[in-house]
Each structure stands twice: as C-alpha cells, then as structure tokens.
Amino acid sequence: MKMLLTIAWRNVWRSRGRSLVVIGSIVVGIWALIAMLGFMNGFTISYVNGAIRYEISHIQIHHPKFQDDYDIHYFIPDGFEVAEKISDKPGIKAVSPRSVVDGMISSPRKASGVRIMGIIPDAEKRVTRHDSLIVEGDYFTGDLRNPVVLGKELAEELKVGLGDKVVLTFQDMDRNLVAGAFRVEGLLETTSPAINKARSYVQIEDLNRILGTSDDIHEIALLADNPDQVPALRSELESMLPEMDAESWQTIAPELELFLSMTDSMLWVLIGIIMIALVFGIINTMLMAVLERFRELGMLMAIGMNRMRIFLMIVIETLFLSLVGGPLGVLAGLLTIHWLGIHGIDLSAYSEGLKEFGYSNILYPFVENKTYVIAAVGVVITAILGALYPAFKAIRLNPTEALHTV
C-alpha cells in the first residue's frame, strides 16, 4: 500500500500544470460554495431577525379569538399583572404589553386605514428597538401631549410632518365610534413595509383612555434570552396561562417558516449544482491523465500490478488532489465569510428594492461551523465519484494493446 501511495503522489506532480488546474478548480468551487451559502444565510437571517426584532418578537400572548379579526373585546384580563409575572420568568429577556386597535388615521388632506399600537415606550424599545429606527423627530420624550409615532411612508401619504395633528378614529369598548387628536412626534423607517405604511404607535394610557379601559390589554410580546429556547418557553407560558394562546414567531408568521424551508431547498440545489460541476471537472482531467498514460498503465499490468491496484491508484491520485485543494478552498471561504461577517456588504444602492422585501441595506454573510465540515466531506465524496469513471476506464485496458500505444 505504501508503494501505491508513493506512486500515486508522484503521478500527481508529474504533470504539475494539470494538477494545479484541478486543485485550482476545487479551491474556487469550494470557495464559491461557501461564499454563496454565506450570502444566502445572510439574507435569510437578516429577513427573519428583522421581522422578529422589529415587529413580531419571539412569542406573543393573546386571547384565543383575538387574532381572528382583532376584536378589541377579546383582551387579556389584568394584562399588566400578567406581563409583570412573565417578566420574572427565567429565560425572558424583555416583555412589552400592548393594546391593539384597527381604525382610521386622518390628516387635513387625507385619510388611511391603520393599526394603532398602544405601547409602554420603555418596555417596547427593549423588545422591538423602534427607538433606534427613528429617522425624524423623537421617540416619546414626553414633550408633547398625546404623541404619536408613524411609519415614514404613512406620514408621506398623509402629507404630515413633525408636530402636525392627526386624528385616530376607532371603536371603543362599548362599540361606539370615538376619535382622538394626536401630535406627530417621530417618524420611523423599518425593513417591514407593513409598519412603514400602516402602523401608528401611541402611549398605551392615551389609547386605553379613549377605549374606555385601564388594565386590559390585547397582546404581550416578549423576547427570549436564547432563540433556541423559544419552544420550551412557549410551552411553559401556555401552562402558566391556560386561558390564553402563547404563539411562537413560527406560528404568528408562518411565511417566515416557509421562507426558511424554501431557502434550505435552494441551498441544497446550489450545493448539488456546484458539486456536479466539480465532478465533471475531475472526470475530464483524470480521464485525460488516464488516456495519456495508456502505455504506462499497460506496462504496470504487464509486470504484475493487478487491476484493483490500478483502480486504487487512480482514485488515490484524485483524493490527493482533493486533499490539497479542499482545505485551501475551505480556508479561503472561511476567511472571506469572517471578514465580510465583521464589515458587512453595503447594498444601499439597492435600498429601495430591498426595503420592499424587508431586507436590511447591510448584508452580513454567515456560515455555521458544520457547513465547513460538510464542504470538506463533500470534496472527498466528489473526488471519489469523479475518479470512478477514469479508474474503470483504466482497468479495462488490454495490456498487450496498451504497450503498443504510441
């Protein structure tokens, strides 16, 4: 076996040019695979984390019938006390109680449908971080009476600016049509079109006063310390609040779960395409090497080397090439993802299009550690598959005919 390994290693470097081409193609293929996986993971993480961090949170608690049509009469009794109890649970990072009403928002020039979110500003900014997304004005500083924060696109549609008055109209707890005047204190811009175009935020005490309630809320949003613990936390909350529904982000926004599964499918298709291209590249190069060495292989057979050893020699040569190119490709991919993961990729030139689909302007590629292992193992498997046809071609040689090959 040692002799076979020595011969195979020498054969690899007898034709340096061809070997370097194969190694280079393996390096580029693995680097491209890791880079593409990093970019796609970056887009996926940006989209999902943006939806969780700036809109839906990890878990939401509602009355079981509330989300059917957002009827304000399906509330969480003693909601503030419930929220306080939840905030004391281990594993909970932040909790925000909310009142939620669908209604109309109008300015002197225009009116539009809107979802009105009554929030406690200090609690809400620990869950959604909307305070960091204010592009004009302030986030509930207390300087205005009845302040409201609007999505920037909604404000543009209503043709209002900072300090302008808007009127929110909706039904109160007695199903009477009521209205309240609010002053625009801030404009925010998120990666969510729904928030930018049809969402307004007011202080929960201002909204509840007009609704005709004080301690009843419709929604409790919370963030977990560890996203992996969300399923366990959800089960604990359902046991703690049997009359309410505790829903994780996968249930609240099933389109995110669908998006993740579709992305995973696309990644496997991408991996398959790159690996197939690599296989054909290896087959082509090794087949050329076998055809050029017909006479040599015939001589080896003539002096007693059996067909199995010839087969193994061709496979080992290919493995040597992959064992040189594979680690270099993985290293190149790792360094690329590490650097881009720190500095990001500025996509602000495409900000308008990205914003429509809920993506951030800065992309941070990300690859899990296991992906590098999968890539390395994939190279070895690809090399073996790519070596099979040339190796079979070699062992089908007739030694007598091969010795007469010029």
Confidence label for 154 from pLDDT (cuts 50, 70 and 90): very high
Confidence label for 28 from pLDDT (cuts 50, 70 and 90): confident
Q: Is the pLDDT of residue 286 over 90?
A: no
Q: Hey, what are 187's tokens?
A: 């404009």
SS3 for 95?
Answer: strand
H or E, element range at 64 = none
Q: How far is CA 2 from CA 5, 7, 37, 77, in A?
A: 5, 9, 38, 78
Q: How far apart are CA 79 and CA 83, in angstroms?
A: 6
Q: Is the pLDDT of residue 288 over 80?
A: no
Query: ∠ CA(255), CA(188), CA(68), 5° rounding?
Result: 40
Alpha helices (runs of H) in 293-368, residue ranges in sequence order: 294-302, 307-343, 351-356
Q: Is the pLDDT of residue 400 over 80?
A: no
Q: Is the pLDDT of residue 399 over 70?
A: no
Q: What is the pLDDT of residues 378-388, one digit of tens each?
A: 887 888 888 88
Q: Is the pLDDT of residue 361 over 80?
A: no
pLDDT at 130: 85
pLDDT at 281: 80
Q: Is the pLDDT of residue 60 over 90?
A: yes
Mean of the per-residue pLDDT values for the chain? 84
Longest dimension (CA), the chain: 102
Model-level pTM?
0.73
Region 117-132: what's the mean pLDDT? 90
Q: Is the pLDDT of residue 357 over 70?
A: no
Confidence label for 115 from pLDDT (cuts 50, 70 and 90): very high
Domain ranges of the chain: 2-52+257-403, 64-243
